[in-house]
Amino acid sequence: MADRRVTPVHVGEFQEEGGFVLSSVDSVINWARKNSIWPLPLGLSCCAIEFMAVAASRFDMARFGAEVARFSPRQADLMLVAGTLTYKMGEACRRLYDQMAEPRWVVAMGACAASGGMFRSYPVMQGIDHIVPVDFYIPGCPPRPEAVLQAILALQKKIEADRPTSQILRAPAPVAAGRG
């Protein structure tokens, strides 16, 4: 029989060496992604104050791995649009979305981001889904911080069900022969 190596951990406790962990690549990647969501807060009006409350100590979104708010789209993977989006700001919102790396997710926070809210005027975009694909909508005017946390948990469930290796190992599309 092989000699087992036992190392002392604490006084009176011992740990056997040579253990191993079984997992799939998908589950390891998804675990890392879902526990390190870096939001890009696009705070446009009063819903941004509610986002600040979610990041504060009372609600503490750091418990869910989303505490690192990045104001650079190249470092963020979740765009959280909080507030009234005008057509003029819509161009900047789309530019920020295009600069984010894949995988990226979008949350529309509040009635104004989801549907234009109470503003039925010509400069207000009636929902951000006209310019960026939205993964989750948070209702309310303004939405409660608990609703934002619920959307983050729902996003984590969506990330957990993802299959990233199928996207990585997917065969490349054939290149059409050009005319010479």
| pLDDT (tens digit per residue) in 58-116 | 888 888 888 888 888 888 999 999 988 899 999 999 999 999 988 899 999 988 888 88
Residue 25, pLDDT above cutoff 60: yes
Close Cβ partners of 146 (under 8 Å, ≥ 6 residues apart): 59
This prediction has a pTM of 0.77
pLDDT-based confidence at 28, cuts 50/70/90? confident
1-5, 28-32, 61-65 — which is least confidently predicted? 1-5
The secondary structure of the chain as a DSSP string is -PPPPEEE-STT-EEES-------HHHHHHHHHHT---EEEEE-STHHHHHHHHHSTTT-GGGGT-----SSTTT-SEEEEES--BHHHHHHHHHHHHHSPSS-EEEEESHHHHH-TT--STTB-S-GGGTS--SEEE-SSSPPHHHHHHHHHHHHHHHHT--HHHHHSSPPPPPPPPP-
Measured distance CA(61)–CA(68) in Å, rounded: 9
Domain residue spans of the chain: 36-158
66-75, 103-112, 119-128, 167-176 — which is least confidently predicted? 167-176
CATH, range 36-158: 3.40.50.12280
| pLDDT (tens digit per residue) in 153-166 | 999 999 888 887 77
| Cα–Cα distance list, 17 to 1, 21, 75 (Å) | 16, 13, 38
The whole-number pLDDT of residue 95 equals 93
